[in-house]
């Protein structure tokens, strides 16, 4: 998998077994199954930024409560964030119907 975000002159360092072992606990494919809270997964559809195979693996591993959002480019992502950056988070923090809001 080759993202353009990794400079070619650094790529070999990131493929070394000792580096991969250090970052293995951060792999979303490994820990997604353990997540019990709502998740919002956002990425750019540009295959040079997030390769298609990577997006497919992460989406397949995501728990059922995951909301997957794909932006065609950085401009679309920026416009969406500008309009409703925290709406999803606010929606997740609201008490479910019939539940009282936490007391302060």
pLDDT digits (tens, 9 = 90+) for 17-60: 999 999 998 888 888 878 888 888 888 776 667 778 888 888 88
Structure tokens at 39: 């998740």
Q: CA 44 to CA 60: how far, in whole Å?
A: 17
pTM of the entire predicted model:
0.61
DSSP state of 65: T
Secondary structure of residue 64 in the 3-state scheme: coil
pLDDT, residue 19, reads 95
Cβ 44 vs Cβ 74: under 8 Å? yes
C-alpha R_g of the chain: 17
């Amino acid at each position: 998998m080759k993202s353009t975000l990794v400079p070619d002159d650094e790529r070999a360092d990131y493929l070394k077994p000792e580096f991969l072992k250090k970052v293995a606990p951060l792999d979303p494919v490994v820990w997604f199954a353990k997540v019990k809270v709502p998740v919002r997964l956002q990425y750019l559809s540009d295959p040079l930024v997030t390769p298609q195979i990577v997006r497919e693996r992460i989406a397949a591993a995501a728990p059922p409560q995951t909301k997957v959002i794909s932006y065609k480019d950085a401009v679309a992502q920026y416009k969406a964030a500008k309009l409703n950056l925290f709406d999803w988070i606010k929606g997740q923090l609201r008490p479910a119907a019939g539940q009282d809001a936490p007391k302060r």
